[in-house]
Structure 1
Amino acid sequence: MRPEVAVQSDRITKIQHHLYNNGYAQVQELAEATGASIVTIRRDLQRLEEDGIVTRTHGGAKLAEAAGPELAFQSRVQEHLDAKRAIGEAAYGLLRPHTTIFLDAGTTVLQLARRLRAQVQPLPLTIFTNGLGVAQDLVNVEGLSVNLLGGQLRNENLSMVGPYAERLLGEVWFDQLYLGTSAVRGDAQMYTLNSSEASLNRAMIARTSQAILLADSSKFDSSAPYAVAPISAVQTIITDSALDATWKSRLADLKINTTFVPLGRNS
């Protein structure tokens, strides 16, 4: 990618995230947020309006209604990105050729999918997923047979959920499950933001030989409403070294095989 194209892509991403977080912004506000000129921002907004992402108004712009769910997902992808990438790299090291795995729709698991996309030597795997983003990132990756679950589309997470997806899971057995979570609460259970997603996650855990939780340290002592399962239901956890000492001790007491990936200074 040419440097000027990379700068433009980064600027447009900043515009999208600013509009997602604020709902509406003046052109001047977007120029200050991105460090670009007003002329450049107006040109970017015209392009984004043509793509159906924003609606321009007098003196500013707002996010187009149809673009909300996808941008919400992309915003979560960017949160704690260094930790998620390091976790994805560690998870890649656990993959075994000629096995069948499930990749859930979480943004940390997405980093494992992107690591697979960047592989130099083909790694033959059969992959099932309920994540549209995961499936899209694995299109035409040599060595991979990718299967996307059917079911009801959950817009907020770009994922497939519901009874039909659960029935499909009942027909397959996975050597490994790579699972994300919205939260690990103080009761040492995994939680998520959607009841259908929680139910599907439980079905995933029931259909695998090895469940591996990929969760950065911010997920611990966080909160979400729907219980999935105790963290003792997974055999392996990969998180980052910023996890507090209390949780490290609890995971040791639970005898869960845990990997703590180191973070850079700027993480």
Structure 2
Amino acid sequence: MKKRIDKIYEIMELEIQVNIENLAKRFNVSEITIRRDLKKLEKRGLATSILHGATINRESTFRIPYAERIKKNIYEKKIIARKALSYIKPEETIVICSGTTTYQLAKLIRSNGMKIRVFTNALDSAMELTYSDNITTIMAGGIITDAYTVEINKGNNIDSRTGPIDKMFIGGDG
């Protein structure tokens, strides 16, 4: 069973703003308990206190460590990845941008066995794809950040090494 504080954060992700009184009723606890939970979320940089409640700190999703983000909503990410895979045809050249959902797509592509070319700026996806002899993986150049396991380049990452691009798969934070 998830901790109450984790459930509160999930509610905040959906509703953006929460009310202390409503949360107390929902979880059958005192308002003081909810205030303590919200204070913990605020200390972690995930929420901002407001009168009678809190709002989600949208910048917080960028501060959640990659190792935590990759586990979050994994079922939904796999469903999205399966749908995305259905659009890919053998011999295509695709771009997979960084993200935890696009990483799930990379895993499916590798296990699918189709022959394709993949251009990516995501270190985790590139490493996953190297396990297949049928996939040509091209990495973007740039700086690797530990928060995103992504290479960032101020120039145009899609260059002459890729040739024509058939499809691009991007993810979004938050």
Report TM bin, short chain: 0.5 to 0.7
* 2:139 aligned residue (148, 151, 154): 148
Rounded to whole Å, the distance in 1 between the matches of 2:137 and 2:159 is: 18
Q: 2:173 aligned with 1:182, yes or no?
A: yes
What is the deviation of 1:155? Answer: 2.0
Rounded to whole Å, the distance in 1 between the matches of 2:91 and 2:153 is: 29
Residue in structure 2 matched with residue 160 of structure 1 by the alignment: 151
Q: Secondary structure at the match of 1:147?
A: strand
> Residue deviations 1:126-176, cap 9 Å, x none?
100000000111113131101111112222100011224x2x414343110
Rounded to whole Å, the distance in 1 between the matches of 2:81 and 2:110 is: 12
Rounded to whole Å, the distance in 1 between the matches of 2:83 and 2:136 is: 22
Counterpart of 1:147, as a letter, is I
Q: CA RMSD in A?
A: 1.9
> Residue deviations 1:95-149, cap 9 Å, x none?
0111100001110000001111222xx3110100000000111113131101111
* 2:120 aligned residue (126, 129, 141): 129
Counterpart of 2:65, as a letter, is A
Rounded to whole Å, the distance in 1 between the matches of 2:147 and 2:97 is: 14
Listed as ranges, the gaps of 5+ residues in structure 2 are: 1-63
Rounded to whole Å, the distance in 2 between the matches of 1:75 and 1:94 is: 28
Rounded to whole Å, the distance in 1 between the matches of 2:76 and 2:127 is: 22
Rounded to whole Å, the distance in 1 between the matches of 2:117 and 2:110 is: 14
5 Å-filtered alignment, 1:78-157, equals 78-119=71-112, 122-157=113-148
Structure 1-normalised TM-score? Answer: 0.39
What is the deviation of 1:91? Answer: 0.9
Rounded to whole Å, the distance in 1 between the matches of 2:146 and 2:136 is: 25
Report % sequence identity.
22
* 2:158 aligned residue (169, 194, 212): 169
Rounded to whole Å, the distance in 1 between the matches of 2:67 and 2:82 is: 20
Q: How many residues align?
A: 110
Structure 2-normalised TM-score? Answer: 0.59
Counterpart of 2:142, as a letter, is G
Q: Which has the higher contact order (CA 8 A, sep 6+)?
A: 2
5 Å-filtered alignment, 1:1-267, equals 72-119=65-112, 122-164=113-155, 166=156, 168-171=157-160, 172=162, 173-183=164-174
